[in-house]
Structure 1
Amino acid sequence: MKNIADNRFFNMILLFTIIGEFIVPWILEQFYSEYNGKIMVMSALGSPQSPVRLIYNLWLVWLGGFLAYTAGAYFLSLRAKFPILAVFMLLSIGIFAVGAGLISGFFSVNESKDIVTTASKIHGVGAAIGFMALLIFSLLNGIVSFKQNNMIEGIISISSFVLSLIFFACFVMGDKEQFQNTILKYEGLWERLALFCMYIPFVYNSMSNLFF
C-alpha cells in the first residue's frame, strides 16, 4: 500500500497550502489599508480591527487542519524505518499546526501590540510554540534524508534549518524596542523569510513525488 505522503493528490494540496501561506496574506493586505506587510506580522490580518479577519482566520484554521493531517501522513510514512524520528516529526508539524494554525485562527491577536487581551495572549503563546516546533522539522528531515542516502535533500534541509534559525532570530529581535531603528524592525519580512525556509523541505518532498 502506498504511503499517504507519496500520494499525488495529497502533495498537490500540500503545495497549494504552502503557496497559499504567502499568497493569501498578500491578496488580503490589498484590502487592509492600515496593514504594512514589511513591519506587521501576518496574524494582524486576523485582528478584530481587520476588514479581512474572517477570511484570514478561516485560512489559519484550514492551514492548521491540513498540516495536522500532514503530520500524521509523515509519521505513518516513516514510523517503520525511523520510529523515534517519526514521533519527533509528528510533534514538530503537529504542534505548529495546532499552535500557529488552529489556535491562532480561533484566538486573534490585536493590530496594536499595546492592546493585550486573553485571546491575544493565547494566540501569542500558541504561535510562538508552533514556530519553534516547526523550526526543527528541517533538521529532522535532513537527518532522515542522510540516513536514506539522499544527499541532495539532506543538504537542502540542513541549509533550510540554518536559514530558518537566522531569520527566526531576526524576527524575535525585531520585536525588541532597541532594534526599532534597524533593519530588524521589519518583523513581517523576517517572519515570512523564516516560514519560507521552514517550508522548503515540504516543497522539495512534494515536488519530488509529483514530478520525479
Structure 2
Amino acid sequence: MRNIADNRLFNIILLFTIIGEFLVPWILEQFYAAYNGKTMVMSALGSPQSPVRFVYNLWLIWLGGFLTYTAGAYFLSLRARFPVLAVFMLLSIGIFAVGAGLISGFFSVNESKDIITTASKIHGVGAAIGFMALLFFPLLNGIVSFKQKDIMEGIISISSFVLSLIFFACFVMGDKEQFQNTIMKYEGLWERLTLFCLYIPFIYKTMSNLIF
C-alpha cells in the first residue's frame, strides 16, 4: 500500500495550497487599498479593519487544516524507518499548521500594531511559535533525504533552511523601530521570502511525486 504522502491527489492539493499561500494574499490585497504587501504582514489581511478579512481568515483555516493532515501524512510515511525524525517533523509542520494557520484564522491581528486585543495577542503567540517550529522542517527533511541517499533533495532542503533563517532574522528585525529607515522595514517582503524558503522542500517533494 502506498503512503498517503505519495498519493497523487494529495500532492496536487498540497502544491496548490502552497501556491495559494502567496496567490491568495496577492489577489486579496487588490481589494484592500490601505494594505501594503511590502511593509505589512499577510495576517493584516484578516484584521477587523480589512474588507477581505472573512476570505483571508477562511483561507488560513483551510491552510492550517490541510497542513495538519500533511503533518500526519509525512509522519506515517517516515515512522517505520526514522521514528524520531518522524515525530520531530510531525511537530514542526503540525505546530505551524495549528499556530500560524488555525489559531491565526480564528483570532485576528489588528491592522495597527498599536492596537492590542486578546485576539491579537493569541494570534501573535500562535503565529510566532508556528513560524519557529516550521523553521526546522527544511533541516529535518534534509537529514532524512541524506539518510535516504537523495543528495539533491538534501542539498535543496539544507539550503532552504539556511536561507529561511536569514530571511526570518530580517523579518524579526523589520519589527524593530531602529530598522525602520533601512531595507529591513519591508516586513511583509521578508515574511514572504521566509515562507517561500520554508515551502521549497514541500514543493520539491510534491513535484517529484507528481512527475516520477
- Shorter-normalised TM-score: what interval? over 0.9
Runs (4 or more) in structure 1 with deviation over 4 Å come to: none
- Which residue type is aligned with residue 73 of structure 2? A
Task: Give the CA deviation at 1:2.
Answer: 0.3
Residue 88, structure 1, aligned to residue 52, structure 2: no
Q: Give the alignment's TM-score, normalised by structure 1.
A: 1.00
Specify the alignment match of 1:13 in structure 2.
13
Residue 138, structure 1, aligned to residue 138, structure 2: yes
- Which residue type is aligned with residue 193 of structure 1? L
Cα distance in 2 for partners of 1:161, 1:129 equals 17
Cα distance in 1 for partners of 2:171, 2:18 equals 20
Cα distance in 1 for partners of 2:205, 2:5 equals 9
Cα distance in 2 for partners of 1:192, 1:56 equals 16
Can you list the C-alpha shifts for 1:89-113, whole angstroms capped at 9, x where unaligned?
A: 0000000000000000000000000
The residue correspondences of 1:163-202 to structure 2 (distance < 5 A) are: 163-202=163-202
Cα distance in 1 for partners of 2:93, 2:5 equals 14
Count residues with an aligned counterpart. 212
- Which residue type is aligned with residue 95 of structure 2? I
The residue correspondences of 1:1-212 to structure 2 (distance < 5 A) are: 1-212=1-212
Cα distance in 2 for partners of 1:135, 1:7 equals 25
Gaps of 5+ in 1: none
Cα distance in 1 for partners of 2:145, 2:113 equals 40
Task: Give the CA deviation at 1:86.
Answer: 0.0
- Which residue type is aligned with residue 49 of structure 1? Q
Task: Give the CA deviation at 1:63.
Answer: 0.0
- Which residue type is aligned with residue 5 of structure 2? A
Task: Give the CA deviation at 1:47.
Answer: 0.0
Cα distance in 1 for partners of 2:169, 2:119 equals 25
Identity percentage of aligned residues: 87
Aligned residue for 1:31, secondary structure, equals coil
Cα distance in 2 for partners of 1:184, 1:45 equals 21
- Which residue type is aligned with residue 63 of structure 1? L
Task: Give the CA deviation at 1:192.
Answer: 0.0
Task: Give the CA deviation at 1:26.
Answer: 0.1
- Which residue type is aligned with residue 146 of structure 1? F
Task: Give the CA deviation at 1:164.
Answer: 0.2
Cα distance in 2 for partners of 1:185, 1:122 equals 24
Aligned residue for 2:48, secondary structure, equals coil
Task: Give the CA deviation at 1:202.
Answer: 0.3
Task: Give the CA deviation at 1:181.
Answer: 0.2
Cα distance in 2 for partners of 1:150, 1:4 equals 20
Can you list the C-alpha shifts for 1:104-158, whole angstroms capped at 9, x where unaligned?
A: 0000000000000000000000000000000000000000000001000000000
Q: Give the alignment's TM-score, normalised by structure 2.
A: 1.00
Task: Give the CA deviation at 1:162.
Answer: 0.1
The Cα RMSD (Å) is 0.2
Cα distance in 1 for partners of 2:133, 2:8 equals 26
Task: Give the CA deviation at 1:54.
Answer: 0.0
